[in-house]
Each structure stands twice: as structure tokens, then as C-alpha cells.
A and B are shown apart, each in its own frame.
Chain A
Amino acid sequence: MSIKKASEVRTWRDTPVGARFFLAQEIEARLREMALPEVKGQVPAPEWIGLILLQLHAMLHSAEPSDVRKIKQVFRID
């Protein structure tokens, strides 16, 4: 009897595309945190914005066309 371990089954999440997608979700969550009522109206530190833009740029630069569609969905970009 050969049992497969879930940790050894590769899925879309384990590919570079999947990893970037989940990174995009993480970034989305962080952007939403910044928009919480208690911080709304405050201007985020320029370093913060720069970091986000750098991450986005890196993701989109290496993304396949189909990934761009997914990334745009995550960030609600038309």
C-alpha cells in the first residue's frame, strides 16, 4: 500500500504563478488593513507606499498574461 503525503503533492499553489497569486492576496490584505477606519485619513509613510509599489512591479513584471488577469482581479483593477 503506497500512501501519498499531502506535503509532497504539488499543486498550482506551489508554482511560481500560484505563489505570486497568494502574494497578491497578502498584499491586498495589507492594503485593506491600511484602510481600516482608525487609520483612514492618515497618509501612509512614503516608505510603505514605495515597498508596495516595488512588490507590485516585481509581480507584474514576471507575470504571464493569464496571471495579470488574476492579479488585476485581486486588486480590483479594471
Chain B
Amino acid sequence: MDATTYGWLVLAFPLAGTVLIALGWKKLPGRSAGWIGIGAIFLSFLASLGALAQLLDRPVEDRQLTNSLYDYAAAGGLDIQMNVLVDPLSVFMCLIVSGVSTLIHLYSLSYMTGDKGFARFFSYLNFFVFSMLLLVLAGNIVLLTVGWAFVGFASYALISFWYRRETATEAGMKAFVINVVGDVGLLLAALFLFRELGTFDLLRIFETAPEAFTTNEPVVVTIGVFLLVGAFAKSAQIPFHTWLADAMEGPTPVSALIHAATMVTAGVYLIGRFHPIFEIALTAADIAAIVGLLTLLIAATIALVVTDLKRIIAYSTMSQIGYMIMGVGIGAYSAAFFHLMTHAFFKALLFMAAGSVIGAMANRQNIDLMGGFRRSMPFTCAMILIGAAALAAFPGTSGFFSKDEILAFAEHRGGFYWVFAIGGYLGALMTAFYAFRIGFRVAYGNPVPEARELEEGHLHHAEPANPATGEPEDTDVGFPGAEHHIAERSWPMVVAMGILGFLAIFAGLVQIPGIDAVVEHFLEGSFEDSTLYGDLPSTADEYRGLGIGGVISLLGIALAAQFYLRKPGTTKRLQERFAGVHGLLADKWYFDELIDAVIVKPTLALGRFANSTFERFVVQGLVSGATGAARGASAGVRGAQSGYLRGYALLLVVGFAGLGLYFLVAGS
């Protein structure tokens, strides 16, 4: 089979899974809906592997294949095909998306057992993966936008999956609204590209763009900035990042899916995919890099103080995506996508482990209430520590190689790009610290009552309550199910976390400077036209970068150990000492309040003004003015409308007689 046929199969399986589960949810017994979902995504993964094998058979310069099913719209200069683009980049993304999603589905099979919306959950989950695969496989911007919007909807549906929980529905709306802002950006970029180049087809755009635009021409920078708006909204970059932390209201597997495989990586993919545009619009690329740097620093500082376990991981995602956006912004494409891959592994792992801990805590997520789980949950704690090590770029783990490659590239590019390297290392220090803040606080310390209970062999059960507000909750449909699940007691979770744990440690070995560069060589087929792709730092420079990164990582971990293991009270004292800074960070730099003050409040005020003043005086005035004018003008002739039949008859007779007389007189 051809590579593109595999491309279509990659899309077909999750879609079929969605439809099958959605239509048959009533008839599917037990956990079969989950198995169907897992099977669909796994088949999709196998199809991705097929596409990979087909691509590897072809020469490097001939690995961009498109295939069109039919004309989607062809009229008036438009030519939109229903086509997929199968090239190294899209296949790389498909492998990550479908592979990690398979494991997340497997994990969900246990995690969601006992929830009344079990089948609905898997239907949404399959749809989410389908949307993301559509996004990465789309061969033209129209199809890309469709996938992009589907991802937005699927995230809305899953974040507010427990739809009777008010905080969840609000978080879903927030995510959806911010994503729509991004959709508008992407759409405007698409329309600008069509106006300038006359096509929506991706390959044709990349072919014609270098001739059509000169470097940093205003229009191409505009296109770049609009693309960035889309990318930032999906990838939760400043100032569109606020939805991601609230998205933690969804079930934990959803968080893993959003953060690791689907959704937030879409922005990185978009910038990487549109690299021919960004290499012409250098200003836009620099904006991407700067915003990435800001996000990685700000999100990391917030992650230092947030106390909600899942939100710490959420802010770490924001920060790591910041690294990737910075990477694709400065042109370190292979490094950024390599980091995307390793991040998918260790972030999914961290979320799964967090889900297991939250299960043991009976849905409470406050990290201040956790501690000492290492004896009662040895497997989960090991996985948390592995995930944290990879996140902290502990020497030898996957995150170590990928993160430092981005920073080495930033140093290598010279000019003002050293700022990105320094900022990145600063972020890495904070990353190492908060990663092990999670690890040490959950695994070590005195066992909390829940941990002791588990040591004695039974899982803690509490009255179900909303972890965000503490309100008591049902376990009916639309609320979290009554059961809690921990990895130690369900094999699907163990399998999923075990595979990811292995990958989180060893996935970095595919790209060790000077030894091998699997990702870089593979992606070359998609980045042939890039001027920056081949220009890599020397092996010695990379090893220097790795050395610095390793030292910084160890330093951060040592700090965390000092704060949380050796002198557990230190953070409390620091918090009192620097109450102002702590407040700023704990309130997330007041971004929510800023957006509220700059956008929400003025919009509301404008709406109120329009309603009370414009609507009442101008709109109403126009309408009642028109009726008044008609009434006034007709006042003179109203008297004739007496309602007497005889009156009308008389007028008729007189009128006709008058007309007749006139013609008689005029005719003679």
C-alpha cells in the first residue's frame, strides 16, 4: 500500500471508533466501549507505522506525498481538495499522537471505570485523537482549519466532561473561547495567504512563497503574526495561556491527552509546518521565540508556588511548550520536535502518576495534603520520580538531550539569540526545582492518613467533593464516578505507565550529539527548503550545552532536596519573608485579572452601553421614528376612510365620472 493510503487509514480508525461508540453506547456491555476506543487508536498507530515504513523506502528528497480523495470545493479560482499530506513531519506527529494516545486510552480504561459517562468519554477521546490527526495530516489550510476547530471542540467537550460540575463547564467555555480567538487568527492567515498566493494547498504555498514575498515584507509578517495567534491560543502561550490551567477540571487522562499528545503541540506543529513562511517573516519568528521565552519563564515561576498537583504539571507543560515554541521560532526545528516527542512521553507519564495519586487521595489534588506515598504506592512514586527526572532534564534521561539541544542551537545562532539560551537555562533551573517539588512532596515526608490507610491495605474513600471549591458532589452522570483507581491495583494503568516510563528514560538515546540523530535525519524530508535546518551547532558545542544543562538540572534538584527533604519548613519561611512575590506568583501574575480588566470588562461595558443607550435611543428611535412619520403623513387622508360603504361607492362614482368627463373634454 502507498504511504498516503496509510495516511487515510490513520484517520479512518479513530473516526470509526468515535461513531461506533457514540451510536452503540447503550448496547456496549461493561468496558467494551473502552476496548473499542483503544483498538481504534492502536490500529491508527499501526497505520502510522505503515506510513513510516513506506516513507523510509523512498529517497529523502521525495518524501512529501499528497493524495486527494475528491474535490472538496472547486469553483471560481478555488481548488480545495480533500487531501492528506504525508511527509516525515506529519508521520512523526501521527506516531506520537496515536502512540501516546493508545497508552492514555489504556490508562483511561481503568481510571474511568465506574463513571456513568464511560462510553461517552471514549467517544470524545477518539474524536479528539481523530481531530488532532486530521490537523497534522491535512494537505491544505482548509482541512487544517477543520481539524484545528475540531480539536477546540473536543477539548471543550472533554474539559467539561463532568458537566454538572460548574467549575468544569466554566473551564470548558474558557478554553473554547480562547481557542476560537486562535481560530480567527489562523483563518485570517489562511485568507491572507489565499489573497497573495491564490491557493490553499500547503505544498503549493511553500513552493510559491519564497518567490512571492521578500524578506520581512509587511504582508508576510502579518501572515506570520496571525499564524502565531492561532498557535499561541492552541499551545497556551502568553497571553492566551490562562485556559490551560483551568483545563485541569477535566478527568486526568484528558489532561494527559491535551498536554502530551494532542492539542497543545498543535501550535508547535503549525509553526514547524509553516517554516517557509517564518523564514521569510523573520520578525514573526522572533516574536514566536520571545513569547516562547516569556511563557517558559513565567509559567515556571507559577509552577513553583501553585499547590494543586495537576496545575503544577499544567504550568510545567506551558513552560515546556514555551521551549518548543522558542525552538521553532529560532529555527531549531529538529530539536523542538525532538523535545515535543520526549515531552509527550514524560508529561503523559507525570499526569498518569498524578492521576494515580489523586485516586489514592480520593480526588483531592492539593499537594500540601499529600506526602509519604513511597511505601504505599511504590510503582506510582517510581513513575513520578522518573517523570520528574525527565522533566528536570536529569543527565541521561530523554528530556536532558532534547531540551539542551534547543538551547545549544540558540547559543550557536549567535547575535541576540544568546538571550534565549540564558533564559532557557534559567527556566531549566526552575523546572528542575518544581519537578522534584512534586516528586519529593508526594513520595517522601511523613505519610499522610491516606497513605497510612493504603499501607494497611485499603484505599481511602471520602465524600465526593469538587477539588477546586470543596463543594459536595453526586456520583451520578455528569459528575466523577464513585470509584477511585490507583496504578498498584489495575494492570492497564501499570502497562501504560510502564511503557511511558521506559520511553521517558530512554527515548533521548535516539538523538545523542555526535553519535546518532534519528529524529533530525528523518525530519529532513520536510525541512529540505529550510536555510536553518542543516546549520547545527558542532558536537563540541552541544556537549558543552549538555554539560551546563546537566549541572543546572542537578543544582535545581539539589535545591529541591534541600527545601523539601532536609529542611521541610524552608518554603514556609520563604513564603512569609517574600509574601509579595509569593502572592504575585500564586495569583499567576494576575493574567486572569489583566484579561478581565482589558478585554472582558470593556466589552461588557460596551455591551451595556449599547443596550441601554444605543439600542434604546438610536435603534428604537429609528423604528418609532419611521412609524411616526408614516402616521403623521397619513393624518390628512384618514378622514376619507369613514368605513361607510356608501361613502366609498360615492367616491368611486364621482371619481369615474370625473375621469370620464376629463377624457370627454380632452378628446373633443
> A and B: real partners?
no
Residues of B in contact with A (beta carbons under 8 Å apart) = none
